[in-house]
């Protein structure tokens, strides 16, 4: 497994842990209400499980399993993948921080980082989306 995949899947697991914990707290609070304040965890929960966990896991695994090149740079422009990793995690942190503090500008900046991350990752992956060598056309 390439190093970037290791980092992405581990980071995704951290998001999963935090996201599920927030979900569980909200669920508990629904069954046995403790405080209405717990509902402030809703948007961080959604951000963590959808972007931090689901999207990042998909990106990490895609980096690993998509067709590789035969030359020296087997994974193509790896720096774009690392940039996506940094931008995505910074984006999630900024969005959650902005939501928590009620700073719309920070939320918007975080979203912009996430969009850049996805764009950079797509740019990295694009040349790797190709039929396997020797495979018959149309197969």
What residues line the site for ligand HEM (CB under 6 A)?
20, 23-24, 26-27, 42, 45-46, 49-50, 53-54
List C-alpha distances in Å: 41 to 19, 51, 92.
Answer: 9, 15, 14
Among 89, 69, 104, 97, CA closest to 8: 89
User: Rounded to the nearest whole angstrom, what is the least distance from the CB of residue 30 to ligand HEM in the complex?
Assistant: 6
Specify the DSSP element, H or E, that contains 102: none
**Any alpha helices (H) in 32-77, and if so which ranges?**
42-47, 56-65
User: Rounded to the nearest whole angstrom, what is the least distance from the CB of residue 68 to ligand HEM in the complex?
Assistant: 29
Q: Report the residue number, 9 or 123, with the smaller CB distance to ligand HEM.
A: 9
Q: Report the residue number, 45 or 124, with the smaller CB distance to ligand HEM.
A: 45
User: Rounded to the nearest whole angstrom, what is the least distance from the CB of residue 7 to ligand HEM in the complex?
Assistant: 20
Q: Write down the residue that tokens 């694009």 correspond to.
A: 126
Q: Report the residue number, 12 or 117, with the smaller CB distance to ligand HEM.
A: 12
């Amino acid at each position: 497994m390439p190093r970037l995949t290791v980092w992405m899947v581990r980071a995704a697991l951290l998001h999963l842990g935090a996201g599920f914990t927030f979900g569980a707290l909200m669920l508990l609070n629904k069954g046995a209400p403790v405080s209405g304040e717990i509902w402030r965890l809703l948007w961080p929960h959604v951000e963590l499980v959808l972007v931090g966990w689901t999207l990042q896991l998909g990106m990490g695994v895609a980096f690993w399993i998509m067709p590789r090149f035969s030359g020296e740079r087997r994974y193509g422009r790896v720096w774009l993948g690392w940039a996506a990793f940094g931008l995505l995690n910074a984006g999630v942190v900024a969005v959650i921080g902005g939501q928590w503090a009620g700073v719309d500008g920070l939320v918007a900046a975080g979203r912009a980082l996430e969009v850049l991350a996805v764009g950079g990752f797509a740019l990295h992956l694009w040349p790797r989306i190709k039929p396997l060598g020797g495979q018959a056309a149309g197969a």
